[in-house]
């Protein structure tokens, strides 16, 4: 039972990332009709906002310690971050909290990148076939990852978990299990809560604001909304920016779980497309539900007991589900009738 | 008008002339080239086939730096590095066999097919007489096979699977780096003395040739000291998030996690294991411990504080204080501003060893090189007295057991050497079962 609970928790935290990325993908597909293969790159760029923030906070003044030597026997150069020199322990704490602080950097960066991407490149492909959109956005993703690799190297760059959220929480004792039977990293709970708040916020924004209602109306019938004198294109561009922010923030907060490297986006891209297809192309609740569902399925399929019966199932489960869904319900779990069914 | 006529004699004559004409280039070629890419000008070209993109690009970049440094030293530039400490004094810093050393580079992308394609190109288009490099056993085995067929020497870079000099060994291939069997033999006694005889290990293993090899060796040596194996679970290469593989460890009854992962997988699985509180757990009355059988400084940098106190093995470390290591660290550090990795060290050594063998043999003919390297004993290259065993072309030298440092003084000072396991302890018979099934075959000079 404890093993099952642990896998559910795993699924929820994996699903949180899938759901946030898939939500962004669906927003773009639903509004602009663009199949954005550069979406994984947005997740990766978000993660590197955390790296940049950490490096900014670690900008240092260099001093020479004559009492120590470096690996070549020269006097040791000691780097003291400016924030530590200025603020003492508070500066050290700031560096420790570089990941949540990176949200402040990621929001404007992702808005600029998202809107720049849409206005600068993707708008020219609205009326082109999906194959052209896939090619250009996939190319864009490769360019982005090569830029990141050239500037940050190919190795993963570890990011600190804030002190207050380090270690693991023994959730089992609250549920009647033995001590240490169900322990789970605190930061993964934080990530799940963050995802819930972010997804909830986007849903509320879309469902309970005038702007959101216009956007949803545009998603349902772009032409009619345009005929009413509403500049739907501007709103859709803003939605592209919002999608980039959601995905970027998912990347920022994921860095203590998975040290970011240039390939991070590609690792998630295909999975998230499957999530979108399973949830239903263009369906926001579908993307979220499918994200969590597939995260949980993926975790359960990795259990030794399951793999003993179905070897290798952990590596194909997501695609297996996608095949079954496409065969039996092509519009996806919560997709609108008619979508992908013609 | 005269008609065209041909009699039997005419046909025979024409046929003989045509046949001789067609055969002529082949006759000249075989006379001019005794072996593949025999250098005819003032230069001899070496092919450095390293991952310049993909997951091991940082390791590949360090390898390339070492190769460039080795070429400088061979051509008499720089401070000479380990040429000054190498026990063989054949090389004088004036090239090899009177020829200046030139090089071409290829990108393996850490993919076997891409690595073979770039090696093929360097052999066929650039005239490389030797191929070296790689940061993956899968790649090394693939390129080694290609070099055997093409008739050039392959000096393996970072490849740790037993298979490279085991079931996939080739006469034209040589490995300076150690292997998983040696890691197991070196780590076993250290694990026993630090953690005792009563432990239960849980293996997470990268699902490819190196991972299987590492898992097999670690199981052999941990079980031989009395440890139990709770489970050995294969994980897909590049899994990223290992949480679904780590959570079963928590309730498996295991008190030791052995991560048969390398590179990015190791960084991620170790970081996540620490996040799951594994290093704070007590199981079966034992403190839960993690072991990383193959360490590298670049990986340790990626894993940050999480490597503290964790045991592993490595082929070489920049903090060694022998004259060879000091000379290499000085050359490399002065040129590039940071200490070399173990990948850089093995690649540098392989270049020097190849050049020295060619100089001693007086030829670049692969069969001459093979003869010069087989059974070659040397010292001064940072690992102490070393033997290139003739039976499998594997180097035998002491193995370093390292531990993540508790109080690092710099971003490079992450591992401390806790034991130098003597060669006799890590040496195994050429017919060891884990290396069975291969055949060196005959050296192939190609052409």
Judged against a pLDDT cut of 60, whether residue B254 lies above it is answered with: yes
Separation of first and last alpha carbons in chain A: 44
Selecting from B233, B319, B413 the residue whose C-beta is nearest the C-beta of A304 gives B233
Q: How does pLDDT run across B23-64, given as a tens digit for each residue?
A: 444 444 444 578 999 999 999 999 999 998 776 778 899 999
Q: Give residue B370's pLDDT band: very low, low, confident or very high (50, 70, 90).
A: very high
Separation of first and last alpha carbons in chain B: 51
Q: Where is B11: in which H helix or E strand? A: helix B8-32
| Confidence at residue B3, expressed as pLDDT on a 0 to 100 scale | 43
Q: What DSSP character marks residue B96?
A: B
Q: How far apart, in whole angstroms, are the C-alpha atoms of residue B279 and residue B274?
A: 6
| Confidence at residue B16, expressed as pLDDT on a 0 to 100 scale | 55
Answer yes or no: do A187 and B240 touch at CB < 8 A.
no
| Max Cα distance, chain A (Å) | 76
| Confidence at residue B361, expressed as pLDDT on a 0 to 100 scale | 97
Which residues are CB-contacts of A186 (< 8 A; sequence separation ≥ 6)? A161, A165, A166, A167, A168, A169
Question: Reduced to 3 states, what is the DSSP secondary structure of residue A34?
Answer: coil
| Confidence at residue B214, expressed as pLDDT on a 0 to 100 scale | 96
What number of other Cβ atoms are within 10 A of residue A309's Cβ?
8
Second CATH level (architecture) for the domain B43-178+318-397: 3-Layer(aba) Sandwich (3.40)
Range from A143-152, B241-250, B418-427 that averages highest in pLDDT:
B418-427
Judged against a pLDDT cut of 60, whether residue B447 lies above it is answered with: yes
Rounded to the nearest angstrom, the minimum Cα separation between A257 and chain B is: 7
Judged against a pLDDT cut of 70, whether residue B283 lies above it is answered with: yes
Q: Is B8 exposed, middle or buried (0-12, 13-18, 19+ CB in 10 A)?
A: exposed
Selecting from A7, A71, A298 the residue whose C-beta is nearest the C-beta of B412 gives A71
| Confidence at residue B360, expressed as pLDDT on a 0 to 100 scale | 97
Range from A100-104, A211-215, A319-323 that averages highest in pLDDT:
A100-104
What does the block give as tokens for B3? 């008609």
Cα dihedral A123, A124, A126, A132 in deg (nearest 10) = -130
Q: How does pLDDT run across B80-110, given as a tens digit for each residue?
A: 999 999 999 999 999 999 999 999 999 998 8
B408 has a chain A CB within 8 A of its CB:
no
| Confidence at residue A341, expressed as pLDDT on a 0 to 100 scale | 55
| Confidence at residue B12, expressed as pLDDT on a 0 to 100 scale | 53
CATH superfamily of B181-314: Response regulator (3.40.50.2300)
Selecting from B245, B268, B318 the residue whose C-beta is nearest the C-beta of A156 gives B268
Task: Please state the ipTM of this predicted complex.
Answer: 0.82
| Confidence at residue B28, expressed as pLDDT on a 0 to 100 scale | 41
pTM value is: 0.85
**% chain A with pLDDT above 70:** 99
Please state the rounded mean pLDDT for residues B361-371. Answer: 97
Backbone CA torsion sign across B115, B120, B125, B127 = positive
Q: How does pLDDT run across A174-194, given as a tens digit for each residue?
A: 888 887 788 899 999 999 999
Backbone CA torsion sign across A256, A257, A263, A269 = negative
Q: Is A216 exposed, middle or buried (0-12, 13-18, 19+ CB in 10 A)?
A: middle
Q: How far apart, in whole angstroms, are the C-alpha atoms of residue A331 and residue B234?
A: 35
Sequence spans of domains, chain B: 43-178+318-397, 181-314
Please state the rounded mean pLDDT for residues B261-289. Answer: 90
Question: Any idea which of B136-145, B204-213, B233-242, B279-288 has the lowest mean pLDDT?
Answer: B233-242
Angle at A163 between CA A161 and CA A167, to 5 degrees: 70
Residues 160-199 of B with CB under 8 A from A: none
Mean pLDDT score across all residues of chain B: 91
Q: How far apart, in whole angstroms, are the C-alpha atoms of residue B47 and residue B39?
A: 13
Chain A contacts of B276, Cβ < 8 Å? Answer: 168, 183-185
A183 has a chain B CB within 8 A of its CB:
yes
Nearest CA in chain B to A254: B241
Please state the rounded mean pLDDT for residues B435-443. Answer: 93
**Which residue in this structure is represented by tokens 């597909």?**
A29
What does the block give as tokens for A64? 């020479």
For residue A311, list its beta bridge partners. Answer: none
Which residues are CB-contacts of A89 (< 8 A; sequence separation ≥ 6)? none
Q: How far apart, in whole angstroms, are the C-alpha atoms of residue B335 and residue A284?
A: 55
| Confidence at residue B101, expressed as pLDDT on a 0 to 100 scale | 98
Chain B contacts of A9, Cβ < 8 Å? Answer: 247
| Confidence at residue B24, expressed as pLDDT on a 0 to 100 scale | 47
Rounded to the nearest angstrom, the minimum Cα separation between B197 and chain A is: 24
Of A56, A46, A82, A261, the C-alpha closest to A158 is A261
Q: How does pLDDT run across B291-321, given as a tens digit for each residue?
A: 999 988 888 888 888 899 999 999 999 999 9
Selecting from A68, A258, A263 the residue whose C-beta is nearest the C-beta of B55 gives A263
Q: Do B101 and B46 touch, CB atoms closer than 8 A? A: yes
Nearest CA in chain A to B412: A71
Please state the rounded mean pLDDT for residues B356-373. Answer: 97
What does the block give as tokens for B36? 């593949």
Question: Any idea which of A17-21, B330-334, B396-400 has the lowest mean pLDDT?
Answer: A17-21
What does the block give as tokens for A307? 């793999």
Q: How far apart, in whole angstroms, are the C-alpha atoms of residue A258 and residue B243?
A: 10
Chain B contacts of A295, Cβ < 8 Å? Answer: none
How many CA atoms does the CB half-sphere of A36 hold within 13 Å? 33
| Confidence at residue B23, expressed as pLDDT on a 0 to 100 scale | 46
Q: How far apart, in whole angstroms, are the C-alpha atoms of residue A306 and residue A317?
A: 11
| Confidence at residue B347, expressed as pLDDT on a 0 to 100 scale | 98
Selecting from A9, A71, A298 the residue whose C-beta is nearest the C-beta of B333 gives A71
Question: Any idea which of A148-152, B262-266, B323-327 has the lowest mean pLDDT?
Answer: B262-266
Q: Give residue B328's pLDDT band: very low, low, confident or very high (50, 70, 90).
A: very high
Q: How far apart, in whole angstroms, are the C-alpha atoms of residue A30 and residue B159?
A: 48
Range from A154-158, A211-215, B349-353 that averages highest in pLDDT:
B349-353
Of B65, B37, B71, B36, the C-alpha closest to B50 is B65
Same fold, B43-178+318-397 and B181-314: yes
| Confidence at residue B7, expressed as pLDDT on a 0 to 100 scale | 57
Cα dihedral B312, B314, B316, B322 in deg (nearest 10) = 40
Q: Do B145 and B134 touch, CB atoms closer than 8 A? A: no
Of B415, B435, B433, B425, the C-alpha closest to B188 is B425
Q: At what angle do helices A2-32 and A284-301 cross, to 10 degrees?
A: 150
Chain A contacts of B413, Cβ < 8 Å? Answer: 71
């Amino acid at each position: 039972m404890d093993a099952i609970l642990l896998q559910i928790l795993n699924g929820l935290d994996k699903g949180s990332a899938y759901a946030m990325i898939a939500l962004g993908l669906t927003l773009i597909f639903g509004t602009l009709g663009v199949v954005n293969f550069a979406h994984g790159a947005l997740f990766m760029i978000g993660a590197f906002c955390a790296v940049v923030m950490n490096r900014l906070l670690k900008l240092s003044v260099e001093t020479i310690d004559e009492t120590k030597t470096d690996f070549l026997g020269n006097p040791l150069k000691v780097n003291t971050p400016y924030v530590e020199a200025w603020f003492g322990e508070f500066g050290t704490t700031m560096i420790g909290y570089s990941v949540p602080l990176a949200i402040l950097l990621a929001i404007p960066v992702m808005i600029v990148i998202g809107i720049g991407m849409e206005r600068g490149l993707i708008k020219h492909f609205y009326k082109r076939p999906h194959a052209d959109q896939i090619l250009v956005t996939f190319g864009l993703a490769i360019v982005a990852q090569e830029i990141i690799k050239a500037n940050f190297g190919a190795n993963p760059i570890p990011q600190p978990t804030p002190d207050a959220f380090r270690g693991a929480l023994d959730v089992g004792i609250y549920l009647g299990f033995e001590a240490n039977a169900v322990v789970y990293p605190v930061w993964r709970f934080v990530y799940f809560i963050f995802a819930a708040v972010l997804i909830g916020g986007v849903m509320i924004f879309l469902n309970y604001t005038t702007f959101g209602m216009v956007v949803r109306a545009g998603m349902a019938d772009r032409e009619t909304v345009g005929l009413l004198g509403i500049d739907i294109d501007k709103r859709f561009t803003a939605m592209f920016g919002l999608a980039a922010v959601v995905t970027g923030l998912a990347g920022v907060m994921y860095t203590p779980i998975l040290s970011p490297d240039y390939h991070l986006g590609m690792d998630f891209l295909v999975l998230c497309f499957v999530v979108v297809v399973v949830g239903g192309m263009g369906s926001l609740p579908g993307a979220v539900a499918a994200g969590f569902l597939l995260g949980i399925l993926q975790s359960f399929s990795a259990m030794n007991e399951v793999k003993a019966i179905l070897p290798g199932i952990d590596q194909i489960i997501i695609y297996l589900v996608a095949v079954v869904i496409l065969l039996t319900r092509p519009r996806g779990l919560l997709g609108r009738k008619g979508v992908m069914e013609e | 008008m005269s008609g065209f006529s041909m009699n039997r004699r005419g046909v025979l004559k024409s046929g003989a002339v045509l046949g001789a004409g067609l055969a002529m280039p082949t006759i000249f070629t075989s006379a001019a080239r005794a072996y593949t890419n025999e250098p005819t000008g003032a230069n001899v070209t070496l092919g450095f086939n390293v991952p310049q993109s993909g997951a091991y690009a940082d390791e590949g970049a360090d390898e390339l730096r070492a190769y460039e440094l080795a070429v400088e030293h061979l051509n008499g530039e720089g401070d000479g590095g380990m040429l000054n400490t190498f026990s063989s004094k054949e090389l004088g810093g004036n090239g090899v066999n009177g020829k200046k050393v030139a090089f071409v580079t290829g990108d393996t992308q850490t993919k076997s097919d891409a690595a073979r394609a770039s090696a093929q190109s360097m052999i066929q288009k650039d005239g490389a007489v030797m191929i070296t490099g790689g940061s993956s056993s899968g790649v090394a085995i693939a390129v080694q096979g290609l070099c055997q067929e093409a008739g050039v020497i392959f000096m393996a870079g970072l490849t740790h699977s037993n298979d490279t000099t085991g079931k996939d060994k080739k006469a034209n291939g040589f490995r300076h780096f150690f292997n998983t069997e040696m890691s197991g033999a070196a780590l076993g006694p250290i694990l026993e003395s630090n953690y005792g005889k009563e432990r239960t290990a849980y293996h997470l293993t990268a699902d490819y040739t190196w991972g299987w090899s590492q898992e097999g060796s670690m199981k052999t040596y941990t079980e031989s000291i009395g440890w139990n194996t709770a489970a050995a679970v294969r994980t897909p290469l590049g899994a990223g998030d290992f949480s679904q593989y780590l959570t079963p460890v928590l309730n498996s009854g295991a008190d030791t996690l052995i991560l048969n992962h390398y590179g990015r997988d190791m960084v991620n699985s170790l970081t996540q294991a620490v996040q799951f509180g594994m290093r704070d757990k007590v199981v079966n009355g034992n403190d839960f411990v993690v072991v990383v059988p193959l360490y590298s400084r670049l990986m340790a940098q990626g894993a940050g504080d999480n490597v503290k106190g964790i045991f592993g093995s490595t082929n070489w470390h920049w903090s060694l204080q022998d004259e060879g290591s000091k000379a290499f660290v000085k050359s490399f550090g002065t040129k590039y501003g940071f200490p070399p990795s173990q990948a850089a060290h093995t690649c540098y050594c392989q270049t020097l060893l190849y050049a020295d063998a060619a100089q001693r043999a007086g030829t670049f003919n692969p069969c001459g090189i093979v003869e010069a390297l087989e059974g070659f004993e040397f010292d001064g290259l940072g690992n102490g007295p070393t033997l290139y065993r003739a039976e499998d072309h594997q180097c035998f030298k002491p193995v370093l057991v390292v531990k993540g440092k508790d109080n690092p003084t710099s971003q490079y000072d992450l591992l401390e050497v806790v034991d130098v396991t003597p060669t006799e302890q890590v040496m195994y018979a050429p017919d060891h079962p884990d290396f069975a099934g291969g055949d060196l075959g005959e050296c192939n000079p190609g052409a």
